[in-house]
């Protein structure tokens, strides 16, 4: 199966607007870099803290923490002049304010993305076949989770096989060569750890030995991965990143992917079960149709025999008499009672009859009671024997 970029209509709604929270992140980045410049002025040009890159927002807390401790150490060790001391104290206060604002922003952003993921999963729940579900899951992850690329792979007998993906860029060619490639989950593959530990992972060093070549072929600078576990068993992996914009993945991306992977696992399990139930129901319907056809043919044969008896045979005369009597009794049955009796002859219990005729089980019991009374039978077996035109004793 190739990379999915189907122009057909999809049931997934467009992702929620993100301009506001991204603008807020950009504003915080500018303020953090201003704090870096202020620290360089107060501490000196040899400050070993680089400005924050917009493509790597995950370093924001690291930069704030480093600047704070450098300022505190400078106050303790060098006891600078009063003006410098005042500046250092103001810098520390500003950094702590920034840390709180950054924390609030990150929590709000994560909450927003988790909510968007829930909306995406709700759309997937409306899909009734596993093939459609698997075809659309990667696009749902990209659109609801805020990623730019997503890949679904399957796991079978300790073998990892890339399967389907969705990309917002125009470079899917590298992925085509990896589709359905069997990658053994050995000791040197990161996904082997996730297979046993049942957890997500955030990867920044894509050149590490345990990172597979498929990641480097896709030019991913960092990515997140989470196992898909319906019923607690790992059946696949979801990978996602921000390769197009170059933004570095962070802990929020990992948590968002994990929330999506857990929800998708439950949806996949439910869809598989529903498909199995539908298949069994269709098989049962086909079987009941065959039984009904066979019983109809049997009844037609009996009527034909009864309408052309051999008048010279006492057995024939007796059979004709019995069939004639039973025919009159059968005529007393209502159409619904006749349907119930036909299903009884086929061996169906009250519950199965109720499901077949779309009535309650209590109604079925009432029909059975009327059938027994009209046919003069004391139980279901005798009623079936009467229906077939033989005595109850001959069946036992």
How far apart are the C-alpha atoms of 329 and 387, rounded to whole Å?
10
The three-class DSSP label of residue 41 is helix
How far apart are the C-alpha atoms of 327 and 319, rounded to whole Å?
12
The three-class DSSP label of residue 225 is strand
Q: In sequence order, what are the beta bridge partners of 389? A: none
The first and second tokens of residue 291, run together, are 């039984």
Cβ–Cβ under 8 Å, residues 244 and 169? yes
The first and second tokens of residue 374, run together, are 């009209």
Q: Please check the confidence at residue 358 and state whether its pLDDT lies above 60.
A: yes
The first and second tokens of residue 298, run together, are 């049997």
How far apart are the C-alpha atoms of 151 and 153, rounded to whole Å?
7
Q: E strands along 156-253, which residues?
A: 159-167, 183-184, 201-203, 223-228, 236-241
Tell me, letter by letter, the H, E, C secondary structure of 108-138: HHHHHHHHHHHHHHHHHHCCCCHHHHHHHHH
Residue 221 has a pLDDT of 87
Question: Which residue ranges make up each domain of the chain?
Answer: 19-121, 128-274, 309-395
Q: Please check the confidence at residue 1 and state whether its pLDDT lies above 50.
A: no
Burial 341-373, CB ≥16 within 10 A → b, else e: bbbbbbebebebbbebbebeeeebeebbeebbe
Per-residue confidence band for 56, with pLDDT thresholds at 50, 70 and 90? low
Q: Please check the confidence at residue 257 and state whether its pLDDT lies above 90.
A: yes
The first and second tokens of residue 336, run together, are 């619904």
How far apart are the C-alpha atoms of 305 and 132, rounded to whole Å?
54
Q: Please check the confidence at residue 347 and state whether its pLDDT lies above 50.
A: yes
Tracing tokens 């024997």 back to the chain, one arrives at: 385
Q: 237: exposed, middle or buried (C-beta count within 10 Å: 0-12, 13-18, 19+)? A: buried
Fold designation for 128-274 = Beta-Lactamase (3.30.450)
Reported as a single tens digit per residue, the pLDDT across 93-129 is 988 888 888 888 878 888 888 899 999 999 999 888 8
Q: In sequence order, what are the beta bridge partners of 201? A: 225
Tracing tokens 């989470």 back to the chain, one arrives at: 226
Of 313, 335, 318, 330, nearest in space to 388 by CA: 330
Q: Which tops the pLDDT comparison, 326 or 158?
A: 158
Q: In sequence order, what are the beta bridge partners of 159? A: 184
Q: Please check the confidence at residue 396 and state whether its pLDDT lies above 50.
A: no
The three-class DSSP label of residue 227 is strand
Q: Please check the confidence at residue 258 and state whether its pLDDT lies above 90.
A: yes
Residue 124 has a pLDDT of 92
Reported as a single tens digit per residue, the pLDDT across 304-345 is 655 554 555 554 444 444 444 555 667 778 888 888 888 888
Tracing tokens 């009904």 back to the chain, one arrives at: 292
The three-class DSSP label of residue 149 is strand
Question: CA dist 378 to 12, 98, 163, 337, 349, Å?
Answer: 60, 87, 62, 16, 17
Per-residue confidence band for 6, with pLDDT thresholds at 50, 70 and 90? very low
The first and second tokens of residue 85, run together, are 């001391």
- 313-317: list long-range contacts, CB under 8 Å, 24+ apart: none
Phi-psi region of 164 (alpha: psi -120 to 50; beta: other; left: phi over 0): beta
Residue 199 has a pLDDT of 92
Residue 16 has a pLDDT of 44
How far apart are the C-alpha atoms of 38 and 35, rounded to whole Å?
5
| Phi, psi torsion values for 288, nearest 5 degrees | -65, -35
Reported as a single tens digit per residue, the pLDDT across 162-220 is 888 888 765 567 787 888 888 888 766 888 888 888 999 999 888 888 888 888 888 88
Residue 390 has a pLDDT of 46
Q: Please check the confidence at residue 264 and state whether its pLDDT lies above 50.
A: yes
- 207-212: list long-range contacts, CB under 8 Å, 24+ apart: 212/183
The three-class DSSP label of residue 247 is coil
128-274 and 309-395, same CATH topology: no
CB atoms within 10 A of CB 202: 18
pTM of the model as a whole: 0.59
How far apart are the C-alpha atoms of 107 and 128, rounded to whole Å?
34
Q: Output DSSP code: residue 218.
A: T
CATH classification for the domain delimited by 309-395, as one of 1.10.1760.20, 3.90.1720.10, 3.20.20.30, 1.10.10.10: 1.10.10.10
For the chain, what is the mean pLDDT? 79
């Amino acid at each position: 199966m190739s990379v999915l970029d189907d122009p057909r209509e999809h049931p997934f709604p467009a992702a929620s607007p993100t301009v506001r929270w991204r603008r807020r992140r950009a504003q915080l980045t500018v303020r953090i870099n201003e704090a870096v410049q202020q620290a360089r002025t107060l501490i000196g040009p040899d400050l070993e803290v680089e400005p924050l890159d917009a493509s790597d927002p995950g370093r924001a807390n690291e930069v704030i923490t480093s600047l704070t401790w450098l300022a505190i150490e400078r106050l303790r060790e060098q006891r600078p002049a009063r003006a410098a001391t005042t500046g250092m104290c103001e810098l520390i206060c500003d950094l702590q304010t920034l840390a709180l604002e950054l924390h609030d922003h990150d929590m709000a952003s994560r909450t927003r993305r988790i909510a968007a993921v829930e909306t995406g999963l709700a759309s997937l729940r409306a899909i009734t076949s596993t093939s459609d579900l698997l075809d659309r899951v990667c696009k749902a992850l990209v659109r609801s989770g805020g990623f730019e690329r997503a890949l679904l792979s399957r796991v079978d007998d300790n073998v990892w096989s890339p399967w389907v993906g969705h990309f917002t860029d125009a470079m899917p060619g590298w992925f085509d060569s990896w589709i359905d490639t069997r990658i053994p989950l050995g000791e040197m593959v990161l996904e082997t750890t996730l297979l046993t530990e049942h957890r997500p992972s955030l990867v920044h060093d894509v050149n590490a030995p345990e990172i597979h070549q498929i990641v480097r072929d896709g030019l991913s600078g960092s990515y997140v991965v989470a196992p898909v576990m319906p019923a607690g068993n790992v059946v696949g992996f979801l990978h996602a990143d921000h390769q197009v914009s170059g933004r570095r993945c962070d802990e929020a991306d990992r948590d968002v992917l994990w929330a999506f992977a857990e929800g998708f696992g439950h949806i996949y399990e439910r869809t598989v079960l529903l498909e199995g139930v539908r298949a069994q129901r269709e098989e049962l319907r086909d079987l009941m149709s065959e039984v009904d056809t066979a019983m109809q043919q049997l009844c037609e044969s009996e009527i034909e025999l009864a309408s052309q008896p051999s008048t010279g045979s006492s057995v024939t005369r007796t059979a004709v008499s019995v069939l004639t009597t039973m025919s009159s009794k059968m005529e007393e049955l209502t159409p619904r009672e006749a349907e119930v009796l036909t299903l009884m002859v086929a061996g169906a219990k009250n519950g199965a009859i109720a499901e077949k005729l779309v009535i309650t089980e209590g109604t079925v019991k009432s029909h059975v009671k009327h059938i027994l009374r009209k046919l003069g039978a004391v139980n279901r077996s005798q009623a079936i024997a009467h229906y077939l035109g033989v005595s109850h004793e001959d069946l036992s």
